[in-house]
Amino acid sequence: MYRTLGYRVIGLSAKQDIAPLGVLLEDHTSVLVGQSGMGKSTVINRLAPDALLRVAETSLALDSGKHTTTGARLLHVNATSHLIDSPGLQSFGLHHLNSEDTAQAFIEFRAWLGQCRFRDCTHRMEPGCAIAHACAEGQIAATRLASYRTLVEERLRAHARRY
């Protein structure tokens, strides 16, 4: 789905062939960002074997990763390529964005933004929503609209908790 949206997607396993990622990182300083236990340090160890980063197994009891990286560190893959190992994220949120800004981040929504019946449409449940109509017509993936709505609902709940 992400390829059809114009994103470059590569499939890889840190424990198998990591070469496709290495090519993309060549001549750059890059940072891997993600939740704790997603394999960032394992990937870096494969790309920069001298890094010798500590890794941990996924917790079966918690069904989540263990936090092993505690601070950011610049690592050299080669003379022109560098990686920043950073601590994993415990949570992710876009609570600082309003519904309109969040909708702009979904590139497949852009053709329909501004075409809803209501000027202040949040694309959650309003009648005449062009985004919902495009989804119903198969022009926007239902999973992407669901992701957008989840982000907006999380932001609204976080805002309500503060007040």
41 within 8 A of 85, measured Cβ to Cβ: yes
How do the pLDDT tens digits run along the chain, 163 residues long?
899 999 989 888 877 888 888 889 999 999 888 887 777 888 888 888 776 665 655 444 444 444 455 677 888 888 999 988 887 776 666 777 888 999 999 999 999 999 999 999 999 999 999 999 999 999 999 999 999 999 999 888 887 887 7
φ, ψ of residue 42 to 5 degrees: the values are -65, -45
**Local structure of 64: helix, strand or coil:** strand
Which domains, ranges and CATH numbers included, belong to the chain?
19-85 (no CATH), 99-162 (1.10.40.50)
